[in-house]
Amino acid sequence: MADLSKITCIEDLKKVAKRRVPRMFYQYVDSGSWTQSTYRSNHADFDNIMFRQKVLVDMDNRSLATTIVGQKVKMPIAVAPTGFTGMVHADGELLAAKACENFGVPYTLSTMSIASLEDVRSATSAPFWFQLYVMKDREFMRNLIERAKAVHCGALVLTADLQITGQRHCDIKNGLSAPPKPTLRNILDLMTKPYWVKNMLGTKRRTFGNIVGHAKNVDNLDKLLEWVGQQFDPSLSWDDVATIKELWGGKLIIKGILDPEDARMAYEHGADAIVVSNHGGRQLDFASSTINMLPSIVDKVGDKLEVLLDGGIYSGQNALKAYALGAKGVFVGRPHLWGLGAYEQAGVTRALEILYREMDLSMAFCGKTQIEEVNKEILLPGTYPTPKY
């Protein structure tokens, strides 16, 4: 195992992951839709926001501890739901969930995970969250919700921005699937990834664990791919939210909000929290970055429900900027996947350590010792976005 103390930023993990993870799964993580404009702006728009440095302030006894959707956390960061996690590294969801439990932040399992809900519960005692995609097969959806209840998930994250799928050039060209199809191109690539192959041969989890064995007539890879391609429901609407909330009965988070009016609708339909998100730049290209829309959404509903944010959180400094602008927490997706692909569970832990240290030190430099004291006063006026409408 490498000396992870020499891994000092998320970019270090990304470089190692690129060497170790098969091309189709690395590019699945590190790409957006169409021109990737939104993917890039999610990160770049944080760079315009400047901190106000304060000096000769007592910086002892600092804490990032707070709560997100009623759950105590070591820092206001949760790991985002990401599909194909178990293809980035064997048993990836289990390893990431364990890292999150040990560190003290929530882990969110995707509907399109490789490990199942039951697999993750067997690996962790923490109240992990579950992200729901609404499928045309509503019986399957209801069963998913019941399974999430049975394993005591702490919150249900309803993804609202994937009724249809944005065009992701890399995924189409790579023929993305789990497991990879045995084409010549894939075989040649896997020959250069012995670390990944060795670990994948040691697990039985190589396809979508929440679907295979649970969806009707899905018993081989071709049927699975056909089922997935047909099941995302373009008819999903606000009318469905009340039904889902009633079936679930617990904390409901709606992810994929990028407009203040949609944020208001989420509140009116019973959401406990929302995630300001453009799906990591993987859906509508040339949509706004999430940090630019955050102040408008906080201004609209921030006193009514918890506003969270994802997109572009590749550093603790970006997480702190989002918190200062009103987000009660942020989701990180790609950083934990790069850590996972690079160094397994230890890599996820290292990603969380990096984010924590960057957030903690930056807060101190801005003259604050408790995260719950942080607001936009730590930011330089004129450099951060303000409500637009």
Mind telling me the catalytic residues? 279
Taking each helix axis from N to C terminus, what angle separates 92-103 and 334-365, rounded to the nearest 10 degrees?
20
167 marked as binding residue: no
384 marked as binding residue: no
168 marked as binding residue: yes
Q: Are 164 and 234 in contact (CB under 8 A)?
A: yes
Length of the chain: 389
Q: Which tokens hold the place of 131?
A: 């992200």
CA-based max dimension of the chain: 67
Return phi, psi of residue 358, to 5°.
Answer: -65, -40
Q: Which of 116, 164, 156 is nearest to 136 (CA)?
A: 164
28 marked as binding residue: yes
What is the rounded CA–CA span in Å between residue 184 and residue 139?
A: 38
- Beta strand segments in the chain, E: 66-68, 71-73, 77-79, 108-109, 129-132, 156-159, 252-257, 273-276, 306-310, 329-332
26 marked as binding residue: no
277 marked as binding residue: yes
DSSP assignments along 184-252, one per residue: HHHHHHHTT-HHHHHHHHT-S--S-TTTTTTSTT--SHHHHHHHHHHHB-TT--THHHHHHHHHH-S-E
- Beta strand segments in 287-349, E: 306-310, 329-332
231 marked as binding residue: no
What is the rounded CA–CA span in Å between residue 170 and residue 372?
A: 40
Q: Which residue has the tokens 């670990």?
A: 199
Q: Are 352 and 336 in contact (CB under 8 A)?
A: yes
131 marked as binding residue: yes
* Other Cβ atoms within 10 Å of 80 Cβ, number: 28
Dihedral over Cα of 117, 119, 120, 122: its sign: positive
279 marked as binding residue: yes
347 marked as binding residue: no
Q: Which tokens hold the place of 340?
A: 């996972």
179 marked as binding residue: no
317, containing H or E segment = helix 316-324
192 marked as binding residue: no
333 marked as binding residue: yes
81 marked as binding residue: yes
Binding-site residues = 28, 81-83, 110, 131, 133, 159, 168, 255, 277, 279, 282, 333-334
Binding-site residues for glyoxylate = 28, 133, 168, 279, 282
Binding-site residues for FMN = 81-83, 110, 131, 159, 255, 277, 333-334
